[in-house]
Amino acid sequence: MTTAGTAHDTSTRTGPAAARQHSLREHNLELVARAVFEVPEPLSRAGVAAATGLARATVSTLVDQLVAARLVRELPAVTGGRAGRPAVPLVPAPRSLVGLGLEVNVDYLGVRVLDLTGEVVADRVVPGAFHDSDPAVVLGRLGELAREVCDGVAAAGMTVAGARLALPGLVDPRTGLLEVAPNLGWSSLEPVGLLGLGELPVRIANEAKLAALAELAGGSDVAAPDSFVFVSGDVGIGAAIVVDRALFLGERGWNGEIGHVVVDPAGPRCSCGAFGCLEQYAGKAAMMRAAGLPPDAPLAALVERLADGGPGVPDSGGASADGALPAGRALGSALADFVNLLDVSTIVLGGAYTDLLPWLRADIEAVLADRVLAAPFVDLQVRAAQAGPQAALTGGAREVLQAVLADPAAWV
């Protein structure tokens, strides 16, 4: 398995200006790398110089270093019909340096590798049942999957820059400690060492926040808004808050636990110990039960049941047959609280909610219209996520590569 030195975590950054200080070379390497990576159309060396304000000779030297480090690739020269040397377009180097996304969820383990172009070069998702599981066993199994995948990409000549481990709970990236993951039954745990990945730099993060970063990165015909609430629905329900294209993390990064917002104080006990949490009505297992399906049934079974007009997500008229709040109305209630508190007008639904949105939308929008104070004056939007399945894996791998982009000098 090919590994590399520790990369710095940079969830969100804006492009810097040219530096005139001790870290001149390092800063300007980052400046040039961002000019190559963050434009829709490839730039030449002259284009990079114009975009950064750096001298052409300086840009040429720095580009040569980035090419030698396999961070940037030169495309065939293009003649523009003018006198002089043909322009050489510069693009992110494919299948060279790669980022590794890892995830433990309640019903699957995942490993995904992305290269600097954003292409998925390896992907493994293994279903399972990990509620109240042994973390040493589960994380050891995930580590085995990761080693198999990393060995494969290394054999193809790629270098793994690092990994992000997505977990569904309260995590402290500064200390590497998982405080609690109620749906896994894990608490007070240092998970990285249990992966057994040796010197590969691994950092932990909350699953919903990584999924939101994957959404923010785009990759679809529908661009992500600058500010939104991202809600990831699975057995558990997590959220992330994006404001002006940056994650809002709160004091310790523990915000967004929307699954444990109480929507009915008289409701059933949740795995967190409270009563009437959103997860008891709009979590995947709860929706399966409401549809008369086993809690561990595949999501496709619920979609099929709903498409056939079966029970599961009742209309907006009231409670379902077993007396529980309909999932859409419960979710709308919790989201209305978020919108009233945060003043964010776009809600992006990911995870299981992406496929279930056609049956949830009417109830969610009805509750938002009724309970959001600003509803008459703003255009509240509820949209499906665009980042694809297991988005936290994509977000984790992207975060590794963003760290590389923030400090390209470490790889030159």
183 part of a folded domain:
yes
Asked if 178 and 276 sit in the same domain, the reply is no
Of 94, 129, 144, the residue that ends a domain is 94
What are the φ and ψ backbone dihedral angles of 284, each rounded to 5 degrees?
-60, -45
Q: What is the pTM of this model?
A: 0.88
Domain total for the chain? 3
Q: What is the CATH number of the domain that holds 134?
A: 3.30.420.40
Asked if 251 and 327 sit in the same domain, the reply is yes
Residue 70 belongs to what domain range?
Answer: 24-94
DSSP 8-class letter at 250: T
Asked if 295 and 154 sit in the same domain, the reply is no
Give the pairing of strands 97-105 and 159-167: parallel
Asked if 236 and 365 sit in the same domain, the reply is yes
DSSP letters for 346-404: EEEEEEHHHHHHHHHHHHHHHHHHHH-TTTTTS--EEEE--S-SSHHHHHHHHHHHHHH
Helix then strand then coil, % of the chain, to nearest 5: 35, 20, 40
User: With the C-alpha atoms ordered 260, 378, 325, 310, is the resulting torsion angle positive or negative?
Assistant: negative
**Contact call for residues 361 and 66 (beta carbons, < 8 A):** no
Encoded tokens for 328: 């859409």
Predicted confidence at residue 11, as pLDDT, reads 43
Of 38, 61, 94, the residue that ends a domain is 94
18 part of a folded domain:
no
Residue 55 has, within 13 A of its CA and on its CB side, a CA count of 4
Radius of gyration of the chain (CA): 23
Look-up: residue for tokens 């010197």? 199
Asked if 320 and 197 sit in the same domain, the reply is no
Asked if 48 and 160 sit in the same domain, the reply is no
Asked if 72 and 123 sit in the same domain, the reply is no
Q: What is the CATH number of the domain that holds 38?
A: 1.10.10.10
**CA-CA distance, 263 to 319, in Å (whole number)?**
13
Strand order in the sheet with 237-243: 246-248, 237-243, 228-233, 346-351, 381-384
**CA-CA distance, 152 to 159, in Å (whole number)?**
11
DSSP 8-class letter at 258: G
Asked if 65 and 30 sit in the same domain, the reply is yes
Give the pairing of strands 346-351 and 381-384: parallel
Asked if 59 and 89 sit in the same domain, the reply is yes
Predicted confidence at residue 251, as pLDDT, reads 86
Q: What averages of pLDDT result for each successive group of 10 residues across the chain (412 residues)?
A: 43 48 83 95 96 96 97 89 76 98 96 97 96 96 98 97 97 93 95 97 97 83 85 93 92 91 94 93 92 90 87 43 67 96 95 95 96 96 94 97 96 93
Of 36, 70, 94, the residue that ends a domain is 94
Q: At what angle do helices 352-371 and 299-307 cross, to 10 degrees?
A: 60
**CA-CA distance, 389 to 110, in Å (whole number)?**
11
**Contact call for residues 185 and 174 (beta carbons, < 8 A):** no
**CA-CA distance, 273 to 129, in Å (whole number)?**
21
Neighbours of 155 (CB within 10 A): 10
The DSSP bridge partners found for residue 108 are 105, 127
Asked if 317 and 304 sit in the same domain, the reply is yes
Asked if 377 and 229 sit in the same domain, the reply is yes
**Contact call for residues 173 and 190 (beta carbons, < 8 A):** no
Asked if 230 and 151 sit in the same domain, the reply is no
410 part of a folded domain:
no
